[in-house]
Structure 1
Amino acid sequence: MNTTDIEIEPVAIKAWAEKRMIYLELTDGRIIGFPADRYRILSQASENQLQQVQIEVDGYALRWEELDEDLTVAGVMAGRFQLPLPSRAA
């Protein structure tokens, strides 16, 4: 008998924003977060606008309707950010 392991990519089941961080809870139990300021449109958004994040495409995408911004969960998990980390003053 042949068996095949099917690796299922984790998807988002919950998303929220807090203090300019976007958090995702994934189907595999992980919670990941990323700074909104790593994306052009999100970096200009208010805290209230960031909190309007919605999960779309069966958990594979994040959507901010008012901002007309979409991100893939896979892209976030892979660290495909648009902007560098802001430099910190010493």
Structure 2
Amino acid sequence: MSISAAGIGARAVHVRVEHGMLRAVLADGREIAAPVSWFPRLDAATAEQRGVWQLIGGGVGIHFPDVDEDISVAGLLDGEGWRR
């Protein structure tokens, strides 16, 4: 298993979905974004469902319980979504 150097220790502290983008603010001050279309369940969700999220693993992941979607911060940093 490979780990991106950029993703080591990266933790989200806040998340929002707006204008077709999933945005995560990281503990170190960076903000990263990825198209919601990378995540089909999140893409098909309502605005209300997208607004319900939980940080998991101390911020290493984001869980959207209403659509059962888990997204890792390291995956966002690596651009894993476009490979789906």
Report TM bin, short chain: 0.7 to 0.9
1:4 matched residue in structure 2:
none
Cα distance in 2 between the residues matched to 1:46 and 1:16: 13
2:9 matched residue in structure 1:
9
Residue 32 of structure 1: SS of its match in structure 2?
strand
Q: TM-score, normalised by structure 2?
A: 0.79
Residue 74 of structure 2: SS of its match in structure 1?
helix
Cα distance in 2 between the residues matched to 1:82 and 1:67: 20
1:57 matched residue in structure 2:
57
On the 8 A contact 1:14/1:26 being kept in 2, the answer is yes
Cα distance in 1 between the residues matched to 2:51 and 2:22: 8
Where in structure 1 do 4 or more consecutive aligned residues deviate above 3 Å? none
Letter of the 1:36 counterpart: V
Higher relative contact order (CA 8 A, sep 6+): 2
Question: 1:1-90 maps to which residues of 2 (within 5 A)?
Answer: 9-81=9-81
Structure possessing the higher radius of gyration over alpha carbons: 1
Structure 1: gaps of 5 or more residues: 1-7, 85-90
Give the drift of 1:53: 2.1
Give the drift of 1:19: 2.2
Flag the 1:49–1:20 CA change in 2: closer, same or farther, 3 A: farther
Structure 2: gaps of 5 or more residues: 1-7
**Count of aligned residue pairs for this structure pair:** 77
> RMSD of the TM alignment (CA)?
1.8
Q: TM-score, normalised by structure 1?
A: 0.74
Identity rate of aligned residues, in percent? 29
Flag the 1:15–1:57 CA change in 2: closer, same or farther, 3 A: same
